[in-house]
Structure 1
Amino acid sequence: MLQEFADWLAYGLLGLNAHTRIGSAVDFFFYDTTKIMILLFIISTIMGIINAYFPIDRLRTYLTTHKLYGLQYFFASLFGALTPFCSCSSIPLFIGFVKGGIPLGVTFAFLITSPLVNEVAVAMFLGTFGLKITLIYVISGMLLGIIGGFILGKMKLDNYLSDWVKDIQKNSQTETEQWETNRISFINRLPKIIKDSWGIIKGVLLYVIIGIAIGGIIHGYVPEGFFQEYMSKSSWFAVPLSVVLGIPMYANAAGIVPVIEVFVAKGVPIGTALAFMMAVVGLSLPEATMLKKVMTWRLIGIYFGTITLFIILLGYLYNIIL
């Protein structure tokens, strides 16, 4: 239904041609903006309800003081794998996790895994590459989230969250304490929860629009064949180059799988192609633009740098074992 609405706006209301680059870019922009705004409102509202009724401080204390032997990162990564979100769609949940006081490393484990692994991509992988490659990709994608989240969590990066997010965290904790003390009913709490959700949307709206606009331009104007020439090379720098080339792109895992199939069919090593796919779906310029509202540039750089390094290493490993 969202796609039909976006098509009506781009091709019906504006009269653009679906087969032109600008038509494709504008349609992409309308669809993704609408989708992410709806997701952001729904998820922010749900997290507001959870924060109001669930003892989030106890959960935060439990996750930070108990030895769970990495299981918290595993469950966050598993949840990411089960949610069919692209990198930009995952950000509303990231905000909700941070607002609820979930440790940053655990939150990163979700943010890393969610765009890389989902049921649609898994089904397409099975039909395209078979069971072996699918299992290797899913397991390595989750391990990337678990290990990446663990390492980023150990870096103690909370101070590099934006002041806007810190204020949300502080206000959320204060409101939860007040509601627990006064035992306010759900009906009376709901207007405040919805108001806070709209506040979050207004806070990130500009960044979302800029990020999706960048993604739309890339989606409509950058030809897929532009990258293939460089990725086909068998030199040692083909994997890191493919990752660097993939970061400016913007697509979800399901959308990029057919492209990867073409790359492999034309002689691109499968490890290089999968590294390119991971960079496209897990790291993107639109994602970085949206994350700027919740992170400082230093934290974004650390996050992107860490995941880029892991993806490059996985690309080399794929080329060796596949």
Structure 2
Amino acid sequence: MSQPSTFIHSAQRTIRLETKAIEALQARINEDFSRACELILKSKGRVVVLGMGKSGHIGRKIAATLASTGTTAYFVHPAEASHGDMGMITRDDVVLALSNSGTTSELLTLLPLIKRMGVTLISMTGNAHSPLATAAAVNLDCSVSQEACPLNLAPTSSTTTTLVLGDALAIALLEAKGFTAEDFAFSHPGGALGRRLLLKVEDIMHVGQDLPYVQRGTSLRDALLEMTRKKLGMTVILEADGRLAGIFTDGDLRRTLDREIDVRKALIDEVMTPHGKTVRREMLAAEALKIMEDHKINALVVVDDTDRPVGALNMHDLLHAGVL
């Protein structure tokens, strides 16, 4: 039975060989790489990634990375392309074909069709003199001197190198297009980043009849009844002209009780927080969260350009929306 040290040695050898393969790749990032980027940027269509076997698995990841970083892309299985899926490829597209050997029969079968359609072909191969590489408008060399597999058979170093080259291509295109964090969020609307970069205050604030408010001069008792009805743990206090006068929260109520003020006789003006922190409806919800955290508060009033309240939100709203 193998000893633990044997497992560790094997893992370290694999990592060392794959790291060496990636380092060797850097010297081959040249004019061919720039040309591939230019062809994709000039294209009016999409990047269609093709690959069989392990190259197919890597191709799916590259297509997904391209798509999520601003370059419209998808994966087509070469065998399925020979049985109808060629119809998914248009003349305006760029085909990115992956094959370590450059002789994958399923890909070579498609070459005459790709050429006849006039589709731009970019290849990623480990053999620059292979049929696939020579047929391409540009070939990206992802060759390796040795697979991490001790038999030098299982695709390991070669698939890692191809994946890294695909990442390099995606990021170069991202930077060339000026792709932003907000653009990324649109590709990931269900993720935490998407919520933080896309969700605005107006998307989660309470408005209309759900907005708790009372006028200056209202008794504290009636203000508490308004807070109870609206269930936000706060109420807005308005000036006579509708502008914001202040805010009263559960925290203010605790401080009022500590001061031994008679809640049955006090007016809201005596215990409210004058004006309070506010946000605008067009602000990101993440910005509202930062204001709450910085000032250690749990509620905010949303005001318009004239300082009139148009909504309110609290920490629970941000938590429920997934911003926290």
Same fold judged by TM-score > 0.5? no
With the shorter chain as reference, the TM-score category is under 0.3
TM-score, structure 1 length as denominator? 0.24
Select the structure that is richer in strand. 2
Select the structure that is richer in helix. 1
Higher relative contact order (CA 8 A, sep 6+): 1
